[in-house]
Amino acid sequence: MALRIRKSIKIAPGVKINLSKSGISTSLGGKGSTVNLGKRGARVTTSIPGTGISSSKLYVTGNRAAQPAVFTPLWAHVVAWLIVAAVLWWIFS
């Protein structure tokens, strides 16, 4: 049996930072549609809330065999943090 450890930290409405033993990822969105940016690529999940019907697709950039095992799309995290900073600036100014 595998043991999973995960912690999700809510940064702003619709923005979460997910920490696990396998790495860090950023989730953007809420009920109905979510984009998760992690080391495997971008996962887009859409659903019809309340029905249990959902669809998920992983978008991987480049040749995964040529990339190192610890590849993290740093640009994706930077974009997410810039969005968080802009929202916080807009709220508090």
> Is 70 a member of any domain?
yes
Q: Sheet of 15-20: strands edge to edge?
A: 6-12, 15-20, 23-30, 33-38, 41-48, 53-59
Q: Residue 27 sits in which domain range?
A: 6-92
Q: What is the mean pLDDT of residues 22-45?
A: 86
By the 10 Å C-beta count (0-12 exposed, 13-18 middle, 19+ buried), 80 is classed as: buried
Q: Could you give the percent of the chain with pLDDT greater than 70?
A: 81
Q: Give the predicted TM-score (pTM) of the model.
A: 0.58
More confident residue, 77 or 89: 89
Q: Tell me, what's the pLDDT at 64?
A: 56
CB 83 within 8 A of CB 75: no
> Is 1 a member of any domain?
no
| SS3 state at 20 | strand
Q: What is the mean pLDDT of residues 67-79?
A: 59
Q: Rounded to the nearest 5°, which phi and psi values hold at 75?
A: -60, -35
> Is 82 a member of any domain?
yes
Q: How far is CA 55 from the centre of its chain?
A: 16
| Helices (runs of H) and strands (runs of E) counted in the chain | 1, 6
Number of structural domains in the chain: 1
- Band of the pLDDT at 62, cuts 50, 70, 90? low
pLDDT at 11 over 70: yes
> Is 81 a member of any domain?
yes
> Is 15 a member of any domain?
yes
> Is 69 a member of any domain?
yes
